[in-house]
Amino acid sequence: MASCGGGDGGGSDVCSCTPAAPASQDFRHAEKHVPLPSSTPVQTTVAQILRWAFGPDPLDSTLRTGRELTLYQITTAYLQNARLISFDCDVHFEISDTPDKNAPRVIVETAIDSEYCPSRKAIEGGLAQHHFQLQYIANADVSQAELPQALPVSVLGLAFRDFEHNRGSVEVGTPWDSMGTASGGSNVTVRARSPKGQSATEFPKAFPQAQQLS
């Protein structure tokens, strides 16, 4: 079980967590836990990611290739849903191209890796300023992780192709995730892996670089 819980805003440590499952059960574990490159990012949008071809599901042993080797940046997106995952201790963020609650989404994930701890804490703090608390929420109860109102964010991360399965809300529209950083101008900053959806497009792990939410 995860060793860090939702807490009451003061007692939990978003960087202190033991995954409920071993790394061997985490799909493409080694390909997810990689540092972000220092290269100039390619600009993209949630809408464009949702149009990426899914292609066949990768295998657990599939190495990074194609889009997964590119660092992408989304300058404007809207955070709709945020929660902690006990399975692998990731933070999952669902982002959309517009603030509409029914807009299709992409998943961004922030890993438990120590290098991303400052970002995880910054995101947690930024959300708290909006009276929203990150908690461990199971997929069956994903609606409990929904923000009352979408918050503007930006994302920097590597694309990551997950296999097609139910990974979030019904609005998630691709198995492409982002693994990197998400930040929200004066709103919220998020670094995490890119969003995972019910389809097959994920925007790989992004690791939030927190900015103050306002």
Question: Could you read off the pLDDT of 174-194 as tens digits, one per residue?
Answer: 766 665 555 543 334 343 333
CA-angle at 197, arms to 56 and 203, nearest 5°: 80
Structure tokens given for 26 = 């985490």
pLDDT at position 109 is 85
Question: Could you read off the pLDDT of 46-60 as tens digits, one per residue?
Answer: 999 998 888 888 888
Sequence-ordered list of residues with C-beta below 8 angstroms from that of 12, at least 6 positions apart, any chain: 4, 5, 6
Is residue 109 within 8 Å of 175, Cβ to Cβ? no
Highest mean pLDDT among 26-30, 183-187, 204-208: 26-30
pLDDT at position 179 is 59
Distance, in Å, from the CA atom of 55 to the CA atom of 58, rounded to the nearest integer, reads 9
Question: Could you read off the pLDDT of 63-121 as tens digits, one per residue?
Answer: 998 888 999 999 999 999 999 999 899 899 999 999 999 999 998 988 888 877 888 88
User: In sequence order, which ranges of the chain are alpha helices (DSSP H)?
Assistant: 29-32, 46-50, 117-129
Sequence-ordered list of residues with C-beta below 8 angstroms from that of 38, at least 6 positions apart, any chain: none
Look at residue 204 and tell me whether its pLDDT is greater than 60.
no
Query: What is the separation of C-alpha 177 from the centre of its chain, rounded to a whole number of angstroms?
Result: 7
pLDDT at position 81 is 94
Look at residue 203 and tell me whether its pLDDT is greater than 70.
no
